[in-house]
Structure 1
Amino acid sequence: MEFKDNIPIYLQIKQYLYREIAVGKLQAGEKIPSVRNLALQLTVNVNTVQRALQQMNDEGILYTKRGEGNFVTEDTALLAQTKQNLINNELDKFVQSMNALGVTNDQLSSILANYLK
């Protein structure tokens, strides 16, 4: 994983894990890799991974079983909302980029409709 310099690494790790959950690579109730394994896999400090996981625990996306590790929540409504938030963030970026190119929202609607045909 390549990290961007302008965004804290722990936030990028959270985004990575959110995407893994959203696309189904990590299922509801599934154990996620250990903090050490994630740190090795992503080539980051263990404390950075721990910070990301702690925030995800605080948000309810993950939960911890003492002595067993971190697991993806089984709250399907929360998982669906998390996926929708990711989609909305990507759409926001896309629309802003198109607006910066001078494309209005009305034009964007017809451009997308034509593109998707």
Structure 2
Amino acid sequence: MLRSYIYSVLLSFCSSFLLSAISNHSLQLNDKIFLYGVIALLISSILFVLRTGFFRLFLTGFNQIYTLAFKQAALMKNIDEQISEDLTFQRWKNQFSAKLMQYSLGAGTGCMVYSLTSINF
């Protein structure tokens, strides 16, 4: 877990450095790298909040309103039940979101560290 985070930090830092070296250390590129870092950190924070279940009650309320407002076919209800009961899919979804959160957190950290350190040098 920590290894994939460190690899993504190093990869994003090195790719940012290479892009900056190719473009002769442009300040506009440094601003874009900073913006990409902020976006990646925002994605990882959204995934963290969703994984903790903070909005679960809120989202279930909207799901209930949706089912009352719009009728679903019986086949669609059966498929939704099968997906919710499929443990391998749930496990895969949790692992995928955890990996995506790790990599986006690492990429965001690497981009932010590079953009903040390249301003001073």
TM-score relative to the length of structure 2: 0.31
Q: More strand per residue: 1 or 2?
A: 1
> Bigger relative contact order, structure 1 or 2, given CA contacts below 8 A and separation 6+?
2
Q: More helix per residue: 1 or 2?
A: 2
TM-score relative to the length of structure 1: 0.31
